[in-house]
Structure 1
Amino acid sequence: MSRSPDLAALTDRSPHGIAGAFGRAIRSGELAPGERLPTVREVAVELGVSPATVSAAWQALRRTGVVVSRGRAGTFVQETPRPWLSPRQRGLVGASLGGLRMDLSRGTPDPELLPSLGPAFGRVSARAGTGVYQDEPVLPQLRSVLEATWPYDAEVITVVDGATDGVARVLEQCVRLGDRVALESPGYPPFLDLVESLGAEIVPMAMDAAGVRPESLRAALDARPVALVLQPRAQNPTGISMSPERAQVLADVLARRRHQSVPLIVEDDHSGAISTSPDVSLGTFLPERVVHVRSFSKSHGPDLRIAALGGPAEVLDPLVARRMLGPGWTSRMVQTILHDLLTQARSMDEVSEARRQYFGRQRDLVARLAEQGMELGTPDGINLWLPVYDERAALLHLAAAGIRVAGGTPFFPGAESAPHIRITSGLVDPEHAAEVATAVAAAAVEDRP
């Protein structure tokens, strides 16, 4: 049996107003996951509007992932989707994208700005490699390129199957049930879920425009975390890049705690070559306690599934040894392709152009938002973090306009969070910047008294 929120006092009976009313009912729990919504005709009769108006409201709810259509069975409040995803990742994934004009929710690079893989494939042997299982897991020529560009002198450099794989393997080595791990807040949802899945407690660290706040780091250290995870450049979701001066201050804060054990510091440089900021690392000051992770997903392609790790031997040697009892090594064919992409002039130029394009897109969208009265700093990388008055209302408003963005709630470790949205602004080309800015500015103040 279907239920409906109290619609008698609803003044805005447009598709957007109707979608907002049902969205609030779902958010408050008045309509539970899996519950069937009333039919289009029932709502149309109750509100005195046309069925087409209600259908448009249902489409907006589907676009934002709040409800799902099951054909003749009706429209239902979305239940937990995709059981293979961790809890906060599920919060970032909506229903079918049918009807959307722009999906700016994914945090993924523009496929058109990735370097062409054709030439690299052409220079890789047509046959799979025949190295023995016990061969060194990193190609020497790739290691040489990585060492030459690493932000500090790392004792060991190896490769794994993507940045999240690297961070997970490091934390799995040092985090035990009941431990504490310091994470940025807001931060990357899979890291929040990972720490909780290990049975550890999250210690949040607040940020400002230069990175983690020193006083927040001091407070986090008082909780004696065994590890802390930082994103030094193009932090996801905020786009903040740590300044060299802040890196020095944070390193000083950590160094003064030597009467305690200094936690292991894991740095996720996920945007790498498309970042416009300096390659900053606390490893410059504390190389014996820092594992720096450099991803090539944003710059060279997510499906390459390769990232580099550099850090102390006491941390990385056991990690490499453990991998030899599992996947063994990251495909040497993929390593060869990455080496080609990092050394060939054409692909290097393509990545440089992508970095320039992303910076221009961020700057253009921020400028257009300023014209709408929203003053923001230009972020690094491909994401824009924006405060809104009501998160769910903003998501519904943008979905009604055919634009999907990510809600901010999954990026916070606790239940209490300031309402935000994350926009993958790196996908917004100049031709659409004004349109997106107008829709975003309207959504940001939606439901404000």
Structure 2
Amino acid sequence: MNAPRLLVLADFSDASPRAIAAEVARLVNGGEIGPGERLPTVRELAAALGVSPATVSQAWQALARAGLIESRGRAGSFVRDAASARLAPRMRGMAAPDGPVRLDLSRGTPDPLLLPALGPALSRVSAKAETGSYQAEPVIPGLARVLRDSWPSEAESIMVLDGALDAISRTLEQVVRFGDRVVVESPGFPPFLDLLEVLGAVPVPVRLDDEGIRPDSLAVALRKRPAAVLLQPRAQNPTGVSMTPARAEALARTIETAERVDDLVVIEDDHSGLISIEGDVTLGTWLPDRVVHVRSFSKSHGPDLRIAALGGPRDLVEHLAGRRMLGPGWTSRMLQTILLDLLTDGTSIDAVAEARRRYFTRQRVLGDALRARGVAAAPADGINLWMPVLGERSALVQLAAAGVRVAAGTPFLAASDATDAVNGVRQRPGGDFVRVTVGAVRDGVEDLADDLAAAASHLVAGGY
């Protein structure tokens, strides 16, 4: 592309770096500039606009940080191609682009400095990987006892899998058939929606408030006779909402009194349980025969451990275990031994408690700073904050220009025209929110709050 053609497509009446970046972003998102298309050089566009090369360079850098363009050295700058097919559609929407950034708050991962040290646990693991039989019990006895003693309700059977998504995927495969409806939170976790799409299931979005799923919204959804309800009881991703015990009981009663949902299964993803400031909560307290509860240890003890526990009705869990024997069989007993050590060692327990305290402090401090600047960010649990913005793409580009990366809100929505009330804030079509991983914010809160508040209130002509 040459500079004159870009000038025909774009409105560069404001030639500031931020406005140039926003206008090019609008063209990319609208498809007027396609993937792989070469952009004018910095000097070409600067000459055409009558601005300094530094001005255009800053705009190009902002677009690169937002993941819209990439530099190929002397070949020039190009619109980025679609992400690799190894990621499902909404996961691609969550993926952080390559390239340097001052502060990456897009990933939803824990602060590595707040994870317990693995060294001591590794030093106590046997030097040999032993298993007496391929058909031996898949969960080591010590870990099974610890999990059962800490489970939030009476579970007939507990097993260990390779992370929360592995557990949820396998459960959905057991209980959901092609064409079945599944109740999901909106906004919710994008990979859940990708999983349902792969299974040919139909998502039925329900509304949230500051205590979790609203019983009235669930009651309406249950009229569609769903096969499952998929929810996050604590530190809901992306909103940070945690269910109260009273709300969990109300949801359980709503399911109990609903008609023609006798085979309904509730799947709970307690992904942030040990770093949540709220206590254990599960619908399994009232619906033990219907609830599969999944507890992940990724955010508390390390994503690369790839371990989650699943508890629920014996028949369902045994079917999951039997099917798994035809694949990976079991989760590495060495990894299970490491997790058992981390869950019982005093130093590791203290480290997780300290992480929980720090995440709570980071949420409160940044949330207070945003609200003081007029941003309607609701108090949140866990490591993520759901921030309303006037324009999603505009906010992403503006933050990229400031060296800050956050996650776009659209992939978290169950439907493109969602208008659910989240924490008292009305969603606009297209999802005018961004997710901010507050857990990664160690310092510089006031400056970050300034950047976030400015981006939240910024809207470029064109409404992207």
Query: TM over 0.5, yes or no?
Result: yes
Match of 2:74 among 66, 72, 75: 72
Separation of aligned partners in 2, 1:410 and 1:5: 31
Task: Pick one of 443, 450, 454 that aligns with 1:438.
Answer: 450
Deviation at 1:6, TM superposition (A): 4.0
Secondary structure of residue in 2 paired with 1:4: helix
Counterpart in the other structure of 2:425: none
> What CA distance in whole angstroms lies between the structure 1 residues aligned with 2:11 and 2:39?
19
Q: Residue 119 and residue 187 in structure 1: after superposition, are their counterparts in 2 closer, same or farther (change >3 A)?
A: same
1:93 is displaced (CA, Å) by 1.7
Instruction: Decide whether the 8 Å contact of 2:189 with 2:412 is kept in 1.
Output: yes
Paired residues for 1:370-409 under 5 Å: 370-409=371-410
1:43 counterpart residue number: 45
The 2-side partners of 1:199 and 1:26 are apart by: 31
Other-structure match for 1:13: 15
Does the 8 Å CA contact 2:210/2:241 hold for their aligned counterparts? Answer: yes
Deviation at 1:272, TM superposition (A): 1.3
TM-score (norm 2): 0.94
Structure 2: tracts of 5 or more residues without a match:
418-429
Distance 1:200 1:280 in 2: 27
Q: What is the identity, as a one-letter code, of the residue corresponding to 1:82?
A: S
Secondary structure of 1:169's partner?
helix
Equivalence map 1:407-422=2 (5 Å): 407-416=408-417, 417-422=430-435
The alpha carbon displacement at 1:262 in A equals 4.4
* Counterpart Cα distance in 2 of 1:152 and 1:266: 14
Q: In 2 relative to 1, CA 448–41 (structure 1 residues): closer, same or farther, beyond 3 Å? A: closer
Where does 1:263-342 land on structure 2 (aligned, <5 Å)?
Answer: 263-342=264-343
Deviation at 1:4, TM superposition (A): 1.7
Deviations 1:44-91 (A, max 9, x none): 122111112111111110101111222233222222112211111111
Partner of 2:220: 219
* Stretch deviating more after TM superposition (342-351 or 172-181): 172-181
Segment of structure 1 superposing worse, 86-95 or 149-158: 86-95
Give per-residue Cα distances to partners, 1:414-446, cap 9 Å, x unaligned. Answer: 2223310000001112x3111110000000011
Structure 1 position 58 matched with structure 2 position 60: yes
What is the number of equivalent residue pairs in this alignment?
447
Partner AA of 1:394 in structure 2: A
Classify 1:8/1:174 alpha carbon distance in 2 versus 1 (closer, same or farther; 3 Å). closer
Counterpart Cα distance in 2 of 1:327 and 1:8:
53
What SS does the corresponding residue of 2:97 show, helix, strand or coil? Answer: coil
Q: CA deviation at 1:253?
A: 0.5
- Kindly state the Cα deviation for residue 7 of structure 1 after the two structures are TM-superposed: 6.7
Contact 1:233-1:240 within 8 A present in 2 as well: yes
> Counterparts of 2:262 and 2:355 in 1: how far apart (Å)?
41
Partner of 1:234: 235
1:181 aligns with 2:182: yes
Matched residue, 1:424: 437
Report if the CA contact (8 A) 2:96-2:106 is conserved.
no
Identity %: 57
For 2:32, give the aligned amino acid: E
Q: Over the residues paired in the alignment, what is the CA RMSD in angstroms?
A: 1.4
Does the Cα contact within 8 Å between 2:266 and 2:291 map onto a contact in 1? yes
Residue 129 of structure 1 and its aligned partner are, at CA, apart by 2.2
SS of alignment partner, residue 157 of structure 1: strand
2:83 aligns to what? 81
SS at match of 2:98: coil
Q: Which residue of 2 aligns with 1:160?
A: 161
Structure 2 counterpart of 1:79, one-letter code? D
> Within 1, Cα distance between the matches of 2:295 and 2:10?
55
Q: 2:30 aligns with which of 28, 31, 38?
A: 28
**2:81 match: secondary structure:** coil
Q: Is the 8 A contact 1:254 1:262 kept in 2?
A: no
Aligned partners of 1:5, 1:380: CA distance in 2, in Å? 46
- What amino acid does structure 2 have at the position aligned with 1:421? V
Unaligned runs of 5+ in 1: none
Residue of structure 1 equivalent to 2:459: 447
Q: Could you tell me whether the CA contact under 8 Å between 1:5 and 1:21 is conserved in 2?
A: no
Tell me how far 1:127 sits from its aligned partner. 1.7
Q: Which moved more, 1:415-424 or 1:109-118?
A: 415-424
Structure 2: which amino acid aligns with 1:347?
A: S
Between the aligned partners of 2:284 and 2:166, the Cα distance in structure 1 is 20
3-state DSSP of counterpart to 2:435: strand
What does 1:106-145 correspond to in 2, within 5 Å? 106-145=107-146
CA–CA distance in structure 2, aligned partners of residues 133 and 27 of structure 1: 51
